[in-house]
């Protein structure tokens, strides 16, 4: 598989602490890649570098365009990564606008297109045909993803009033409304019950298989990782210690040691 994104010798330091230490990896185009590792391995720091929340201390993050050219994301300002590179993320802690309806949350994700159509307020105030068309298209696009994710029935419900598992789906739907070419999900199964985790598996594979999306996600729920991933990257102490297909990672001694520790592994063998 050809890469959509290449992380090349990435370093991220916070004072005297090195959170990511010379990390290199590739995210295959049109596939699901999982980033796993113990707490403190540097997974979320990696996401923050990819999505522009942090500027790396060294290294490159290359987005491979369809025409064969490359764009170094470390040279882009953070807000341009979502808007121009179309790399969009969710967060471990849900960050919906709780007082807005589900539909309104999905429209917020399309604010830049609507702002352009309104010519940054003038056409919106005059409610011109061009703005009405853009508004109609944004509503249709939001409703499409509401239907895809089984959220149509709660479209007019305040997001903060929904059950936790449903809010997770709303957050993914909002990210999809930003038209990502790379969707980064930070622990999407966190807090879900087994039924909701199984539904998440179906959703993620559908996004890949039916919509051709490239997904990169951090996850501790191994039932999700093993069931949906095409490729798994394992991190520990800011470095990559292994990568490959899910089944190979399950048996890799370095991965076992990172999760269990030498002493626990010996006890398990006793």
In the chain, where are the structural domains located?
A: 1-86+180-270, 96-178
- Tokens representing residue 160 in the block: 């903060």
Long-range contacts made by residues 142-149, C-beta under 8 angstroms, separation at least 24? 142/103, 142/106, 142/107, 142/110, 142/177, 143/103, 145/106, 145/173, 145/176, 145/177, 146/102, 146/103, 146/106, 146/173, 148/173, 148/176, 148/206, 149/173, 149/203
Give the 3-state secondary structure percentages of the chain, helix then strand then coil, rounded to 5.
45, 25, 30
CATH of region 1-86+180-270: 3.40.50.300
Give the closest residue to 10 by CA, choosing from 45, 48, 61.
61
pLDDT in tens, the chain (270 residues): 799 999 999 999 999 999 999 999 999 999 999 999 999 999 999 999 999 999 999 999 999 998 989 999 999 988 889 889 999 999 988 999 999 999 999 998 887 665 554 554 454 454 666 667 878 899 999 999 999 999 999 999 999 999 999 999 999 999 999 999 999 999 999 999 999 999 999 999 999 999 999 999 999 998 899 999 999 999 999 999 999 999 999 889 989 888 755 544 443 443
Q: Which pLDDT belongs to residue 168?
A: 95
Q: Per residue in 60-80, pLDDT tens?
A: 999 999 898 999 999 998 888
How many helices and strands, by DSSP H and E, does the chain display?
11, 10
Helix-helix angle 164-176:129-148, to 10 degrees: 140
Strand 32-36 with 231-236, pairing: parallel
Q: Per residue in 226-235, pLDDT tens?
A: 999 999 999 9
- Tokens representing residue 91 in the block: 């967060």
């Amino acid at each position: 598989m050809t890469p959509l994104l290449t992380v090349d010798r990435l370093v991220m330091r916070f004072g005297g602490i090195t959170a990511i230490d010379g990390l290199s990896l590739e995210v295959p185009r049109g596939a699901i890649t999982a980033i796993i590792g113990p707490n403190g391995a540097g997974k979320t720091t990696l996401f923050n570098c990819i999505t522009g929340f942090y500027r790396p201390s060294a290294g490159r993050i290359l987005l491979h365009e369809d025409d064969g050219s490359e764009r170094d994301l470390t040279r882009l300002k953070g807000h341009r990564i979502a808007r121009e590179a179309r790399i969009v993320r969710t967060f471990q802690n849900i960050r919906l606008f709780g007082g807005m309806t589900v539909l309104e949350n999905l429209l917020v994700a399309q604010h830049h297109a609507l702002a352009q159509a309104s010519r940054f307020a003038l056409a919106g105030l005059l409610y011109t045909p061009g703005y009405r068309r853009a508004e109609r298209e944004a509503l249709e696009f939001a409703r499409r993803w509401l239907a895809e994710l089984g959220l149509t029935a709660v479209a007019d419900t305040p997001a903060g009033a929904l059950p936790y598992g449903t809010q997770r789906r709303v957050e993914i739907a909002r990210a999809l409304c930003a038209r990502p070419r790379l969707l980064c999900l930070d622990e999407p199964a966190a807090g879900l019950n087994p039924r909701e985790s199984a539904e998440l598996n179906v959703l993620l594979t559908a996004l890949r298989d039916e919509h051709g999306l490239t997904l990169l996600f951090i996850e501790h729920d191994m039932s999700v990782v093993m069931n949906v991933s095409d490729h798994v990257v394992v991190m520990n102490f800011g470095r990559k210690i292994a990568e490959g297909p899910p089944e190979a990672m399950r048996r890799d001694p370095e991965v076992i040691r990172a999760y269990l520790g030498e002493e626990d592994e010996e006890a398990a063998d006793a």
